[in-house]
Amino acid sequence: MTFFFQNVINALQWGSLYALIALGYSMVYGVLLLFNFAHGDVFMVGAYIGFFIATGLLALSSSGVLVLSNTMILVLTILFAMLLNSFVGILVERVGYRPLRNAPRASAAITGLMIGIILETSNLALLGASRLSFPELITTSTYEVAGVVLTNKKIVIVVVSLLLMIALHQFVQRSKWGMAMRAMAFDFAVVPLMGVPLNAIAALTFGLGSALAAAAGVFYGTAYPVLDPYMGITFGWKAFVAAILGGRGSILGAALAGFLLGFIEIFVATIFPSTLRDLIAYSIILAILVYRPHGFFGEAHTAQLRL
Amino acid sequence: MTKISGNSSKTGAGIAQLFSRVLQPYKYTPIISWLLGGLVAVIIEQFVGLSLARALGMYKIPALFGILFILDKPLLFTGALLYNILIYVIPITVVARLTKFLGNRLAAWLLTIPHIVSIVVHLGLLYTILHIWSEVSDYRLLVARLILIAIIVTLSLNVINGYMGEFSCSHPGFIALGAYATSVFTIVLFVDDNLFGPALLPISFGFLFFPIGLIIGGFVAALGAIIVAVPSFRTRGDYLAIISLAFMFIVKSLLENLEWVGGPRGMGSQPDWANLPTVFFWAVIAVWVINNFVKSTLGKALNAVRDDETAASAMTVDTRKTKMTAFLFGAFWAGIAGGLFAHVIRYVNPGTFGLTMLAEDLAMVYFGGLNSVVGSIVGAVSINLLSEALRPLEIYKWIVIPLMLILVMVFRPTGLISFREFDVMKLIEPKQEPKE
């Protein structure tokens, strides 16, 4: 039983990262009906931004220019990474998606894919292929509750991720901008005629998603302190699948599917040889999608590719 | 050729007039004259290429039109340009101009006997050019074969993504299935290998069995396609894209876990059977069959399903059968391409068939143009040539090519040459000057 709960804790941490990234995919997909294929790499960029802010702040505080505790640095890193990465997301929207607003959606998917490749390659070209290790901002302390080992990192990651998701949910449900986003998701063609600024909403959607991805990137760096340029492909793409599994534009669905993916992966890796992880995870996803083609919370609408 | 003069007429009037006067004779030059020009050019290169290249300051014949040299040493730009003009541009244009009347007469005469003769003559000329061109270096030979395989891949992906309008991401999976199935077939039967033990048949039988192996690879890939095709009955567009993506990851992960095909280490020592004639033959067959497929009733049914599934169904199109056929057909050719690819590289490992390959395949299809056989050929050739030619840029290559593709998507969202029918007869018929 302890074994089970231990893995539940691990899966919660792993899944909360997936869920944060999946939310970004899901929002863009819900509002603009677009695959944001670049989102995985935006997550990677967010992690790197977090890395540079964290190392910069650490250097400043150790040289005595600023007096900051490590917790303070972590908070600032998350906030600034989210802020800066939202600009990256807005830039991606401006360059890759806005010119193709009226083009076939498959073409926009291609530009997204290409922007992803450009982000990766620029990273490789600027920083080289070596992996970076994220500075350790929280010293790990472990607690044992009834045989289950908890670390403070895990608690922070899961709790803050959940808080971010709740905040996003509140924003989308309660605020005027959130209402505009939901209206846009409801009818992409008519709502702009009612005076809702399409471009601003699109930018907001990309910005919010990228901010969450940056948070996920910083958490990823905190939990598994290795960053490499391909983490967007290896990790981000799975979150993409989770987003679709949750259903079109459903925040709850994306979060749940992210956690589900985390659970599947962690449990497969503990029970079977870990090389089977992808195989079994994707097979389960395929089975779910064949049985429920529109995901958990998606409506069974006929999505037409406008060609 | 009409296109060139059509474009130039929009620019300054004087230049346009000059252009149209220069290009006027070429407007009615049949394709056979251009092929003869190409033949002369590659023969000239064979004989004087090396000495000319040395005279122009290069130490060997520029493999891909000198772009490799230019990026390495920018000062060689004039030399490479001069080389291209002297070896390619001048012989091709001059010979094409000189043999215009002869070519037209020949093309007209060839059409009086069974048309297949004319097609074979044209293809034979094309093959000869390719053969002589690629004899200069092994690198050219490799590039030529990879481009021909890329044409098959692009065409087969275009059947699903362009003609049927699904966004299928499973193509690397199909290619992987074909590559592995063919490799297992040939290695088990003909190669002493530490994975499968000694050869069962002498290797001299190989040429007879290689097509069988390729077709087996195609069928295995088609079998895999059923997994993607069946969900496509219920859902379309976005969700099918995810299903196909999951399929791709499943195939890659499965191959990584199958120890008897080498696992993540991959599988080597495929016999060297995918030489230029073989690959050329299969590419021609692929173009021919796929072109006929998309022009057939079934191909038109694909377009109908893409544009409006409900309406197509009301017009007695069996949408399930159509989708199933398109997926199986596309996957079959992807499998064949995979088998050829495995025997060109002579090594396969699961890592090859990942997201990078998906990005390349999608790039070729969307760059060249959806719903178009010519577009697919153009896309495959240009993306491959670019990615080979830009090799000296090393990593920046993967910034230049995506940027270019983004530009193409922004200005021509369905690709360069999209929604065009490919008519072979129109291509090979003589171009008569209108009598005034």
Residues B237 and B337 reside in one and the same domain: yes
The pLDDT value recorded for residue A69 is 83
Residue A125 has pLDDT above 50, yes or no: yes
Amino acid at the residue B33: S
Please give the angle made by the CA atoms of A191, A193 and A197, to the nearest 5 degrees.
70
Compare CB distances from A104 to B405, B410, B414 and report the shortest one's residue.
B414
Which residues of chain A does B245 touch, with a Cβ-Cβ cutoff of 8 Å?
Answer: 237, 241
* More confident call, B255 vs B5: B255
In-domain check, residue B126: no
**B326 has pLDDT over 70:** yes
pLDDT value of position B436: 57
pLDDT-derived band at A306, boundaries 50, 70, 90:
very low
Burial class (CB in 10 A: 0-12, 13-18, 19+), B163: buried
Which pLDDT score, from 0 to 100, does residue B142 have? 92
pLDDT, position A273: 84
Q: Is residue B127 part of a domain?
A: no
Which of A29, A100, A294 has the CB atom closest to B413's CB atom?
A: A100
Q: In one letter, which amino acid is B27? A: K
Residue after which a domain boundary falls, among B90, B121, B152? B121
pLDDT above 90 (res A119): yes
Q: Which residue has the higher pLDDT, B337 or A104?
A: B337
Query: Band of the pLDDT at A43, cuts 50, 70, 90?
Result: very high
| Domain termination site, one of B87, B121, B155 | B121
Residue appearing with tokens 């191959």: B255
Identify which of A234, A270, A284, A287 has the alpha carbon closest to the alpha carbon of residue A43. A234
Read off the pLDDT of each residue in B136-147 and give the average, rounded to a whole number.
91
pLDDT at B68: 64
**B133 lies in a domain?**
no
Provide the shortest C-alpha distance from residue B348 to chain A (in Å): 19
Between A and B, how many residue pairs show a Cβ–Cβ distance under 8 A?
139
* CATH number reported for the structural domain that contains residue B380 in this entry: 1.10.3470
Residue B268 bridge partners (DSSP): B347
- Provide the domain count of chain B: 2
Euclidean distance between CA atoms A292 and A275, whole angstroms: 27
Contact flag B238-A107 (C-beta cutoff 8 Å): no
How do residues A203-253 score in pLDDT, each as one tens digit? 999 999 999 999 999 999 988 888 888 888 888 888 888 888 887 778 888
**Banded pLDDT at B3 (limits 50, 70, 90):** very low
Q: Report the Cα B38 to chain-centroid distance in Å.
A: 19
Beta carbons of A118 and B402 less than 8 Å apart: yes
Task: Please report residues of B whose CB lies closer than 8 A to that of A245.
Answer: 242
Residues in chain A: 307
Say if residue A271's pLDDT is above 80: yes
B contacts of A304 (beta carbons < 8 Å): 236-237
In 3D space, the residue among B187, B208, B207, B210 whose CA is nearest the CA of residue B199 turns out to be B187
**Å between B103 CA and nearest CA of chain A:** 41
Q: Are residues B353 and B261 in the same domain?
A: yes
Task: Please say if the pLDDT value at position A283 is more than 50.
Answer: yes
SS3 for B2-71, per residue?
A: HHHHHHHCCCCHHHHHHHHHHHHHHHCCCHHHHHHHHHHHHHHHHHHHHHHHHHCCCCCCCCCCCHHHHH
Gap between the Cα atoms of B63 and B59, Å rounded: 11
> Structural domains in chain A?
2-291 (1.10.3470)
Task: Determine, for residues A125 and B399 on separate chains, whether the beta-carbon distance falls below 8 Å.
Answer: yes
Q: Which residue has the tokens 């295995």?
A: B220
Model pLDDT for residues A6-32, shown as the tens digit of each residue: 888 889 999 999 999 999 888 888 888
pLDDT of residue A305: 39
Based on the number of CB atoms within 10 Å of its own CB, is B160 exposed (0-12), middle (13-18) or buried (19 or more)? buried
* pLDDT reading at B6 higher than 50: no
pLDDT tier at B223, thresholds 50, 70, 90: very high
Whether the pLDDT of residue A175 is over 80: the answer is yes
Q: Which of A136-145, B104-113, B269-278 has the lowest mean pLDDT?
A: A136-145
Q: Which chain B residues contact residue A122 at CB under 8 A?
A: 399
For the ranges A45-54, B68-77, B190-199, B277-286, the lowest mean pLDDT is seen at B68-77
Min Cα separation A235/chain B (Å): 13
Kindly state whether residue B129 falls inside one of the protein's structural domains.
no
| pLDDT in the model for residue A303 | 46
- Chain A positions touching B235 (Cβ under 8 A) are 289, 293-294
CB < 8 Å to B254, chain A: 279
Our CA-based measurement puts residue A150 at a distance from the nearest CA of chain B, in whole angstroms, of: 32
pLDDT of residue B2: 43
- Which of B121, B156, B175 marks a domain boundary? B121
Chain-chain contact of A103 with B413 (C-beta, under 8 angstroms): yes
Q: What's the gap between Cα A154 and its chain centre?
A: 17
What pLDDT is recorded for position B72?
Answer: 66
Of A113, A289, A303, the CB nearest to B243: A289
Statement to judge: residues B23 and B97 lie in one domain: yes
User: Which residues lie below 8 Å from residue A238, measured CB to CB, with a gap of 6+?
Assistant: A18, A261, A281
User: Does residue B193 sit in the same domain as residue B324?
Assistant: yes
The beta-carbon neighbor of A279 closest among B253, B309, B402 is B253
B294, B165 Cβ separation under 8 angstroms: no
Residue B23 falls inside a structural domain: yes
CB B199 within 8 A of CB B191: yes
Flag whether pLDDT at A118 surpasses 70: yes
Whether the pLDDT of residue B402 is over 80: the answer is: yes
Report CB contact under 8 Å: A95, B237: no
Q: Stretch B280-298: mean pLDDT, rounded?
A: 94
Taking the CA of residue B193 and the nearest CA in chain A, the distance in Å comes to 25
Q: Among B239, B396, B409, whose Cβ lies nearest the Cβ of A111?
A: B409
- B420 and B356, same domain (yes or no): yes
**Among B331, B401, B319, residue whose Cα is nearest residue B366:** B401
* pLDDT at residue B50 is higher than 90: no
Are A290 and B243 within 8 A, CB to CB? yes
Best of B168, B307, B367, B406 to mutate (most A CBs within 10 Å, chain A): B406
The pLDDT-based confidence of A182 (bands split at 50, 70, 90) is confident
Residues facing A148 on adjacent strands: A145
Across chain B, what does the average pLDDT equal?
Answer: 86
The pLDDT score that the predictor gives to residue B8 is 43
Q: In 3-state terms, what secondary structure has residue B347?
A: strand
Q: What is the pLDDT of residue B401?
A: 87
pLDDT at A36: 86
Verify that B326 and B389 share a domain, yes or no: yes
Is pLDDT at B175 greater than 50 in this prediction?
yes
Give yes or no: residues B101 and B231 share one domain. no
Say if B110 falls within a structural domain.
yes
Determine if residue A305 is left, alpha or beta; phi over 0 gives left, psi from -120 to 50 gives alpha, anything else beta.
Answer: beta
Residues, chain B: 436
Model confidence over B211-222: pLDDT tens digits? 999 999 999 999
Which pair of tokens denotes residue A99?
């010119």
Residue B57 inside a domain? The answer is yes
Same domain, B152 and B13: no
- pLDDT at residue number B71: 64
Shared domain check, B178 and B151: yes
Average pLDDT of span B83-87: 86
Query: Mind telling me how many Å the CA of B320 is from chain A's nearest CA?
Result: 16
Q: How far is the C-alpha of B161 from the C-alpha of B176, rounded, in Å? A: 19
| Same domain (yes/no): B401, B264 | yes
Identify the domain containing residue B149 by its residue range: 138-426
Residue B52 sits at φ, ψ, to 5 deg, of -65, -45
Any domain includes B432: no
Does B63 share its domain with B155? no
Chain B residues lying within 8 Å of A97, measured CB to CB: none
> What pLDDT does residue A81 have?
95
The verdict on B175 and B213 lying in the same domain is: yes
In percent, how much of chain B has pLDDT > 70?
95
Q: Quick one: pLDDT at residue B22?
A: 77
